[in-house]
Homo-oligomer: A and B are copies of this chain.
Amino acid sequence: MTLFPAEATQREIARELYAHARDLPLISPHGHVDPALLADDEPFPDPARLFVVPDHYVTRMLASQGIPPARLGVPSIDGSEVETDGRAIWRLLAANWHLFRGTPSRLWIEKVFAEVFSIKKAFGTATADEIYDELSDRLAEPEFRPRALFTRFNIEVLATTESPIDDLSAHAKLAADGWGGPGGRVITTFRPDNLVDMEWAGWAERVAALGELTGQDVGTYPGFLAALRSRRELFIAAGATSSDHGHPTAATADLTDAEAAVLYRKGLGGATDARDAETFRAHMLVEFARMSLDDGLVMQLHPGSVRNHNTALYARHGRDVGGDIPSATEYVQALRPLLDRYGDDPRLRIVLYTLDETAFTRELAPLAGGYAALYLGAPWWFLDSPEGLRRFRETVTETAGFYNTAGFVDDTRAFCSIPARHDVARRVDAGFLARLVAEGRLPLDEAAETIADLAYHLPKKVFRLDGPAA
């Protein structure tokens, strides 16, 4: 995998540019690795449980060809049986490996095989068992434990994602071991979705838990805000430099305290409808922006995913197993209340993501290229792929430049794939910059500086990983 343009002039330039980025440490400011993985530093389980079971990119694709997640060992929540034999799962993947031609999953997995586990053979039915055995052997060795890999991967900082009611115990252990806390290698991210989304089953219970955890009177809206603020402080103490907000839409609303309190009380009373819930989520984004201006957390907003679209899958396996689908997402009117309030304030940093590419030239690049508070997040999820990354640069750069983008985020649960994902992004950026150079649109020395900025300096700065906030 070079991923560089095939054309010789650009290929040479891309190779040269890539050399400026290849060995820079990895900044991973947004991801979903389980912090216990690094806190406990236990060996990984078998190959199927490392590469298949938790990877919804993989289980989705197999489901799309009629292989149900239960046959792939995806845990059920309805008591139905699931495959437990790792080797059987592995053989299913191998027998269907052709489905992944042209997908980033294939690139990532083959790269991990080759570069992390030194597997020399091509994966497929004929080699499945052999590779399973090789991987199993490696996983038993100490240098394949999570912390050893973390060091070998040259990760400078990795952010995980936790709810405000998480007890952060894994992060406490990491800090105790010298791996966590402010400026540490493994940090947390404040993700309050399940506390601001009244439509999410169990909301009131989680709010109550928040009250217990903080000693605040969450029966009132001011108490709710105080509780969130106090959790933010603890998250910052556990290294957090950003918050993360995954809403159905990008709607923001700037309510008065009194208006917000009415919605909050209705929510606690179980009397809200979908519109109230949307307004409350929208308002809380402005509230969180206000908190960010005080405590410096960078806000990340990624709207536009229809969660749990596959009803049967959700009923059987629950959330986050591949049943989410993007939908058209509007930003220009949606963000206006927030931007009217704080959009020109350069102390605030809001990183915007999208699953709707049409917003790149039409909405996101003009917004990020006009408001001091806005940055564009990396292509996300279905767009985190060679073509998606390329189109991102082609569509946003001319209006927003490079320096209103926030750098690559791997957004992954799959710890071993982190270097592969960053490497793909660095290669694609090298190819894009090489084209600018070859077409006489950017001098080579500036392109070289730019790729290092994109790969390392820019995410570090935008996500405030370069020191205390102001």
Instruction: List residues of chain A with CB under 8 Å of any chain B CB.
Output: 1-7, 9-10, 60-61, 63-66, 68, 98-104, 107, 122, 306, 309-313, 322-323, 325-328, 330, 332-333, 336, 339-340, 343-344, 346, 355-358, 361-363, 365-372, 374, 382-383, 385-388, 393-395, 397-404, 435-436, 438-443, 446, 449-450
Pick from B346, B398, B435, B443: contact of A66, CB under 8 Å: B346
Q: A344-B312, A357-B361, A370-B323 are contacts. A107–B386 as well, Cβ < 8 Å?
A: no
Known contacts A98-B446, A309-B332: does B61 contact A401 (CB below 8 Å)? yes
21 contacts between A and B (CB under 8 A): A3-B440, A6-B10, A60-B369, A60-B370, A63-B371, A65-B372, A98-B450, A100-B401, A101-B450, A102-B397, A102-B402, A309-B336, A310-B343, A311-B340, A312-B343, A323-B370, A325-B363, A327-B333, A357-B361, A358-B358, A386-B439
In angstroms, Cα B344 to Cα A310, docked, is: 8
Among all A-B residue pairs, the 8 with the closest Cβ atoms: A66-B346, A6-B438, A385-B398, A102-B397, A1-B440, A66-B372, A2-B440, A7-B7
Known contacts A64-B400, A382-B399, A362 near B355 by CB under 8 Å: yes
A372 to B7 CA separation, bound complex (whole angstroms): 38
Tell me if A344 and B63 are in contact (CB < 8 A). yes
Contact between chains at B313 and A344 (CB < 8 Å): yes
A100 to B170, CA, bound (A): 43
Contact partner of A362 (CB less than 8 A), chosen from B64, B313, B343, B357, is B357
A126 to chain B, nearest CB (A): 14
Q: Which residue of the partner chain B has the closest CB to A345?
A: B66
Query: How distant is the Cα of A442 from the Cα of B1 in the complex, in angstroms?
Result: 8
Among A6, A60, A346, A372: residue with most chain B CB under 10 A: A6
Q: Which residue of B lies closest to A4 (CB)?
A: B439
Smallest Cβ-Cβ distance to A304: which chain B residue: B362
Chain B residues with CB below 8 A from A122, complex form: 443
Chain B residues closer than 8 Å to A99, beta-carbon distance? 401, 403-404
A6 in contact with B365 (CB, 8 Å) = no
Assess whether B370 is in contact with A98, with CB atoms less than 8 Å apart: no
When chains A and B are docked, how far (Å) is the Cα of A400 from the Cα of B332?
30
Task: Give the residue of B103, B344, B385, B440 whose beta carbon is less than 8 angstroms from that of A68.
Answer: B344
A323–B340 alpha-carbon span in the complex (Å): 12
Residues from chain B with Cβ under 8 Å of A399 in the complex: 103, 382, 385
Most buried by B among A68, A325, A355, A441: A325
Is A310 in contact with B339, judged by CB distance below 8 angstroms?
A: yes
Q: What is the CB-to-nearest-CB distance from A331 to chain B, in angstroms, rounded to a whole number?
A: 9
Which B residues touch A388, using CB under 8 A? 361, 398
B436 x A102 contact (CB < 8 A): yes
Q: In the complex, which residue of chain B has the Cβ closest to the Cβ of A428? A: B439
Closest partner residue, chain B, to A368 (CB atom): B64
- Cβ-defined contact, B363 with A327, below 8 A: yes
Q: Report A314 CB to chain B, min CB distance, Å.
A: 10
CB neighbours of A9 from chain B (8 A): 6-7
Identify the closest chain B residue to A6 (Cβ).
B438
Cβ-defined contact, A61 with B103, below 8 A? no
Assess the A361–B382 pair: CB atoms within 8 A: yes
CB-CB < 8 A to A326: which residues of B? 332, 362-363, 366
Which chain B positions have C-beta within 8 A of A449? Answer: 98
The reply to whether A332 and B344 form a contact with Cβ atoms under 8 Å apart is no
Minimum distance in angstroms from A248 CB to a CB of chain B: 12
Contact A61 B344 (CB under 8 A): no
Which B residue sits closest to A382, measured CB to CB?
A: B399
List the B side residues contacting A442 at CB < 8 Å. Answer: 101-102
Q: A382-B361, A435-B6 are in contact. Are A441 and B107 (CB under 8 A)?
A: yes
What's the least CB distance linking A112 to chain B, in Å? 16
With A1-B439, A310-B339, A326-B363 given, is the CB distance from A387 to B382 under 8 Å? no
Q: Is the CB of B327 within 8 A of A61?
A: no
Chain B residues with CB under 8 Å of A310's CB are 339, 343-344, 370-371
User: Is B398 touching A102 in the complex (CB atoms < 8 A)?
Assistant: yes
Alpha-carbon separation in the docked complex, A435 to B386 (Å):
12
Contact B346 A65 (CB under 8 A): yes
Cβ–Cβ < 8 Å partners of A402 in chain B: 101-102
